[in-house]
Amino acid sequence: MSTHTLSVLVENKPGVLSHVAGLFSRRAFNISSLAVGPTEDQSVSRMTIVVDGASTPVDQVAKQLEKLIRVLKVVELDEDRAVERELALIKVRAQPALRSQLLEVAAVFRANVVDMSPSTLVLEATSSPAKLDALLAMLEAYGTCELVRTGRIALQRGSATITESFLGVSADAEPAGPAESAA
Amino acid sequence: MQLTGAQALVRSLEQQGVEVVFGLPGGTILPTYDPLLSSSVRHILVRHEQGAGHAAEGYAWATGRTGVCIATSGPGATNLVTALADAYMDSVPIVAITGQVSSAMVGTDAFQEADITGITLPITKHNELVTDADRIPAAIAEAFHIASTGRPGPVLVDIPKDLQQAQMTWSWPPAMALPGYQVPGDPDPAAIAAAAALLHAARRPVLYVGGGVIKSSAHDELLRLAELAQAPVTTTLMARGAFPDTHPLALGMPGMHGCYTAVAALQEADLVVAIGARFDDRVTGRLADFAPRAKVVHVDIDPAEIGKNRVPDVPVVGDARAVLRGLADCLSALISEAGPPDTAGWLGVTDSWKRRFPLRYAQAADGPLKPQYVVERLSMLTGGDAVVVSGVGQHQMHAAQHFSFTKPRTWINSGGLGTMGFAVPAAMGAQAGRPGELVVAIDGDGCFQMTAQELATCAIERLPIKVLIFNNGFLGMVRQWQELFYEERYSSVELGTTIPDYVKLAEAYGCVGLRCDRADEVDAVLDKALAVTGVPTVVDFRVHDREGVFPMVPAGRPNDEIVLGPEFSADEQRAATRRELSAR
């Protein structure tokens, strides 16, 4: 599946999420995942929306999103030039005899054990979506009881930011040192 | 200065220059109706909130200014929904103000509570539930700004009752906080130059003109460009009147019920310049087969329209007026360097099509009355000097085809949404915006019965609209489809011509009621209707119930399959389908 990642800056106001979600249903666009949270500016939230490029015209999605009054900026991230991460919590069956095997798998994928019971483990894994899929495929053999994923979040690599023009934050600007801000 | 939220709301409307609002009060909007009583803003009390919504639309279509409607919460607000959806589809600038249950009650299923911002989210350009009385002036200023700029559209402002009653600090103008809203700036000169070069080089150009040209008042610029380019012009259902039908370069309306010449010219064109039009399915027929030989220039103020249905060779984002002016200037320079575009052969072809395949119907002197004949007589008797409003269906197509439009903002209808019942309330709004001018609603009997109650409003408010009912006793367009595509199985489509008695109904509403069922009486009855002053007039035209709308491209079929209709011979139909490109 060819996916596209859109970073969307929105005003942090009531109803914004329903405006964005409503647009997708109204225009019959498919969302693969949507993650939303605050940014370095309290008045602005950032959504990371993943759409399936095969069923949804990404260019139209971006243009229609731009038309929403509360949407400040829409940027399609180039997947080769962006850092993309997703967090998953996975409850997996772990009979004592298989536990050490499971821990080896977890170690390979740099997943942490965050809870344990006589018959299960909860793993926490943060990685690119593809690696996460690979981990889940490996765990399938042991029996996954419950799974929750956050949806993808992403940032462009390098010093460029998409927030400069709205938040007045530039990665290249010299930050005020702790001494100055204390003065 | 301290005001109540309600006083601030009314004063904000005054500051926006609002002269008239259409509405109907109820519990949660009551605080606002109190200061409205002593305001300079005229309030027109409708009989149903849908009427208020369409009246606001009709006002906006007719004047170019933003229409305003007001309703209470719950059912009052939901009754506006159809009008908001209609305004969204046709890019009509209206502001809807709704009362909402008090802030503390929101979300509790309180009496007359409805989540109207949630309901109207996909059918408004923007909406807002106000949460602070101090924000009321800004919310209103933003609503008018958003509704009327860029691609216009409806905006809804929902105001809880307690905020209307609360004290707030008044100041005007308020600071608008719309960091995410930008109206496109000047068009890209390089794109305009590229479009002008295509237009100069084209041998078979067509200007495909949509509603955007009327909204940006670009008709003079369009006329100049068309004459410079010597390019024929087709005006969509949304753009009737943007280019005079009497001009030699006018092809009439394109699309499913368009003129043969307009449809065929787009199919044969080597260049289509779309201006403020959106390649709607009713214009394109089967999209893949639309204008197959043409390069496309697409001018639109909404970037999302460009490439949505047809990928253009030259996209131009901008206001139609600025773009048309730039195009004409550029083309004019090319003409001084290299001579005028060579379109004489093409105009010979389109002229021969116009002669051989015109709009055709047969009105026998003593035969059943044809709706097309009534439209033509109205057009003749008024000299085209009328604001024509229509509902949706056969009468709408007959009016759009047969009335000779020569000026912008003289044609008002429901295009995108296709809202039956639009005509009477929209005509009411148009008349309120253009008092003293002739406003004629051409309506079907099915449409008329959906919103006829606004005749009471028109009579009491002295809005002397003329309503011409084309009474064929059927949901005529549905009947036509059942005839053509459902083997003449007429399912639930007959309304009957005599119930109600439209003359008595008109009189009951305080209007003049007239009836006509013979072609030789049409002029006399129209004269009589046009002579009435002060009160609305309703004419029951008993028209032929078998009359169809032609030409016709069956839905979802290529435009090449256009059917001329029963008034043309098989030989003529074959010739039309072959589309000879030599002038005859």
ipTM of the shown complex: 0.90
Q: H or E stretch including B344?
A: helix B344-356
Instruction: Enumerate the H helices of B64-204 as residue ranges.
Output: 75-78, 81-89, 116-119, 136-148, 161-165, 189-201
Task: Give me the number of domains chain B comprises.
Answer: 3
Task: Give me the number of domains chain A comprises.
Answer: 2
Are B194 and B263 contacting, i.e. CB atoms less than 8 angstroms apart? no
Matching residue, tokens 């709009």 = B359
State the nearest Cα–Cα gap between A64 and chain B, in angstroms.
6
Residue B551 placed within a domain: no
pLDDT given at position A178: 52
Question: Measuring CA to CA, which residue among B120, B132, B163 is closest to residue B32?
Answer: B163
Domain interval for residue A102: 83-149
Residue B227 and residue B132 share a domain: no
Question: Are B180 and A26 within 8 A, CB to CB?
Answer: no
Instruction: Tell me: pLDDT of A183 over 50.
Output: no
| Cis geometry, peptide bond prior to residue A118 (ω within 30 degrees of 0) | no
CATH number at residue A40: 3.30.70.260
Residue A181 placed within a domain: no
Instruction: Tell me: pLDDT of A52 over 70.
Output: yes
Mutate which of A67, A70, A163 to disrupt the B interface (most B C-beta within 10 Å)?
Answer: A67
Mean pLDDT (whole number) for B539-543: 98
Are B68 and B21 contacting, i.e. CB atoms less than 8 angstroms apart? yes
Q: Which tens digits make up the pLDDT trace of B381-436?
A: 999 999 999 999 999 999 999 999 999 999 999 999 999 999 999 999 999 999 99
Report the alpha-carbon distance of residue B459 to residue B477 in Å, rounded: 30
- The most distant pair of C-alpha atoms in chain A lies apart, rounded to whole Å, by 61
What residue of A is the nearest CA neighbor of B153? A67
Residue A38 placed within a domain: yes
Contacts 24+ apart (CB under 8 A), A52-61: A52/A1, A52/A2, A52/A3, A53/A2, A53/A3, A53/A4, A54/A1, A54/A2, A55/A30, A56/A29, A56/A30, A58/A4, A58/A6, A59/B307, A60/A27, A60/A29, A60/B304, A60/B307, A60/B308, A61/A6, A61/A24, A61/A27, A61/A29
Domain interval for residue B388: 371-542
User: Residue B110: beta bridge partners?
Assistant: none
Residue B348 and residue B432 share a domain: no
Residue A46 and residue A23 share a domain: yes
Q: Which tens digits make up the pLDDT trace of B336-395?
A: 999 999 999 999 999 999 999 999 999 999 999 999 999 999 999 999 999 999 999 999
Nearest Cβ partner for A72 among B121, B122, B180? B180
Confidence band of A54 (pLDDT split at 50, 70, 90): confident
Chain A residues within an 8 Å CB radius of B180: 10-11, 68-73
Question: Are A14 and B179 within 8 A, CB to CB?
Answer: no
Residue A92 and residue A142 share a domain: yes
Q: Which tens digits make up the pLDDT trace of B495-519?
A: 999 999 999 999 999 999 999 999 9
Q: Which tens digits make up the pLDDT trace of B235-265?
A: 999 999 999 999 999 999 999 999 999 999 9
Mutate which of A12, A16, A26, A69 to disrupt the B interface (most B C-beta within 10 Å)?
Answer: A69
State the nearest Cα–Cα gap between A86 and chain B, in angstroms.
28
What residue of B is the nearest CA neighbor of A65? B304
Confidence band of A179 (pLDDT split at 50, 70, 90): very low
Residue A143 and residue A129 share a domain: yes
State the nearest Cα–Cα gap between B146 and chain A, in angstroms.
9
Residue A48 and residue A100 share a domain: no
Residue A90 and residue A131 share a domain: yes
Domain finish residue from B169, B204, B233? B169
Residue B266 and residue B141 share a domain: no
Residue B376 and residue B346 share a domain: no
Domain finish residue from A56, A77, A98? A77
How distant, in Å, are the alpha carbons of B472, B506, B508, B512, B516 from that of B502? Answer: 13, 6, 10, 10, 11
Q: Please report, in angstroms and rounded to a whole number, the separation of the first and last CA atoms in chain B.
A: 75
Residue B394 and residue B320 share a domain: no
Instruction: Tell me: pLDDT of A176 over 80.
Output: no
Domain finish residue from A44, A77, A110? A77
Q: H or E stretch including A137?
A: helix A129-140
Are B373 and B343 contacting, i.e. CB atoms less than 8 angstroms apart? no
The total of other beta-carbon atoms located within 10 Å of residue A17's CB is 15
Question: Are A22 and B307 within 8 A, CB to CB?
Answer: no
Chain B residues within an 8 Å CB radius of A72: 179-180
Instruction: Tell me: pLDDT of A53 over 90.
Output: no
pTM of the entire structure? Answer: 0.95
What residue of A is the nearest CA neighbor of B304? A63
